[in-house]
Amino acid sequence: EPEVTQTPSHQVTQMGQEVILRCVPISNHLYFYWYRQILGQKVEFLVSFYNNEISEKSEIFDDQFSVERPDGSNFTLKIRSTKLEDSAMYFCASIGQTLTEAFFGQGTRLTVV
Amino acid sequence: EDQVTQSPEALRLQEGESSSLNCSYTVSGLRGLFWYRQDPGKGPEFLFTLYSAGEEKEKERLKATLTKKESFLHITAPKPEDSATYLCAVRPFSGGYNKLIFGAGTRLAVHP
């Protein structure tokens, strides 16, 4: 069964450092997303990406965040200068053309120390 | 403002004891209501999408139903392996590009 793959599964970084979280969406999907979940809280929308550009972003997704689809398979989230409050699980998701199902990856646990 | 509220926050059941989880929503317009299962430290696992009031979908011991204001996830004769957090999410008309707005989830524990 096709799945969304995320790497790494866990990343520890020092405050102020840059991190890149990687995702391989399902191959024939068209819409790509990043969500985050702070421990014990709701899953929150960060950004959506369609046709090689950002289509929507939340207020959380400030200038410290960026996304990129550098090739036909990878989708990345970069945080330029991490803060303690960026510690969370980050989930990548993708949706196909039928829009009927949204599949999530297993997440990257980001810990900022 | 688009909003999703799930109840109860936590539910403890004995194996075989059927029950229902509630998801109530307020959205500008609904383009789909999604149910997910989430195990600790894992990503949401897709279960169902419902689109219109009266629609029902089933998968093993789970059945999801939808009205104009809420959705229910019915669990029939649950087993310990059904223990997880169940998340409800809506895809509203406001904004575009199919983002999902999640509720806080219901933590289900099924004991033998």
Whichever domain contains A48, its CATH number is 2.60.40.10
Q: Which two tokens stand for residue B54?
A: 């009266």
Q: Which residue has the tokens 């599964």?
A: A9
Residue type, A92: C
Tell me: pLDDT of B95 over 70: no
DSSP code of A73?
S
Q: How many CB atoms lie within 10 A of CB B53?
A: 13
Segments forming the whole domain that contains residue A89: 5-97
pLDDT tens-digit series, residues B27-55: 888 889 999 999 999 999 999 999 999 99
C-alpha distances (whole Å) from B50 to each of A85, B46, B78, B103 are: 34, 12, 22, 16
pLDDT tens-digit series, residues A42-99: 999 999 999 889 999 999 999 999 999 988 789 999 999 999 999 999 999 999 877 7
| Rounded Cα distance, A86 and B5, in Å | 25
Percent of chain A at pLDDT exceeding 70: 100
C-alpha distances (whole Å) from A46 to each of B2, B14, B17, B23, B77 are: 16, 38, 38, 22, 37
Look at A100 and B46 and tell me if their CB atoms are within 8 Å. no
* Candidates B25, B100, B101, partner chain A, best to mutate (most A CBs within 10 A): B100
**Domains of chain B as residue ranges with CATH:** 3-111 (2.60.40.10)
Q: Which two tokens stand for residue A33?
A: 């997303």
Shortest distance, CA B7 to any CA of chain A (angstroms): 14
